[in-house]
Amino acid sequence: MPFTGISGKVAVVTGAAQGIGEAAAAVLGSLGAVIAAVDRQGDKAAQAAEALASSGVSAAAYTADVADSRAVEEVIGRIEREQGPVDILVHAAGVLQYGTGVTLGDEEWERTFAVNTTGAFYVCRSVISRMSKRRRGSIVLIGSNAGTVPRYGMSAYAASKAAAAMMLKCLGLEHAAEGIRCNIVSPGSTDTPMQRGMWEDESGEFKTISGSPELYKLGIPLGKLATPEDIAWAAAFLSSDQAGHITLHDIRIDGGATLGR
């Protein structure tokens, strides 16, 4: 195994029905973690958990909307009762609402923050409150490179991701003395349903890699999109013993698109 300290640990993965969350559950499961796959799309989460179980991974699905505080507290409590103490959280649940600031409606703005920022807070708060008593644990938030560089048409998404990242760093500072590590993985353009939903036609991948000067967006120096697994393995590393002295860190995985900023 490339990383130690994961096997046998209970890992909660939110947004586990697809994309980066699904990949994170698969990677952590391959390293021996007990997977609690959480998603608002209960049927798809169940399918993902069943696929993991068929490959020998201990996995169970749980349905919850991370923007619902009560639902979050209930599902984390249920996971601990059924699977055991949570030692790893990879929070990948998120939404993207594309549109310029003046065209976004109130509901679109509020829903983006409800899921990406407030939802992240609800989940991290619920998990950390339990980890704190045990004085151990790792939390990895899936952020975005849009949280550090302005993106045309992504004001709600970028702002929500920036806020969530700072929220987690504050929690990480507050609980560092308890042995709880909090880190962020910030992907750039990654081949997920969310990314493909932004493309107008089959040229979308080429345009994403090449960049858009008219939108002040650099291309990707490595000349390719990230895969969900690229992001998932970084989350696994940060959850492992090998990252035991890393906390409050934000790893940018974007093929150089933000020039290391």
For 99-166, the DSSP string reads B-TTT--HHHHHHHHIIIIIHHHHHHHHHHHHHHHHT-EEEEEE--GGGTS--TTBHHHHHHHHHHHH
Whole-angstrom distance, CA of residue 32 vs CA of residue 47: 19
- Tell me the CA distances in angstroms from 38 to 26, 47, 87, 100, 238, one per residue in order: 13, 12, 15, 31, 20
Instruction: Look up residue 250 and give its two tokens.
Output: 């934000």
Instruction: Kindly state the greatest CA–CA separation across the chain.
Output: 53
Strand partners, 217: 212
Task: Characterise 8 by phi-psi region: left (phi > 0), alpha (psi -120 to 50), beta (else).
Answer: left
Rg of the Cα atoms in the chain: 17
Dist. CA 207–CA 79, nearest whole Å = 42
Annotated active-site residue 157? The verdict is yes
Catalytic residue among 62, 122, 152, 157: 157
Residues identified as active-site: 157
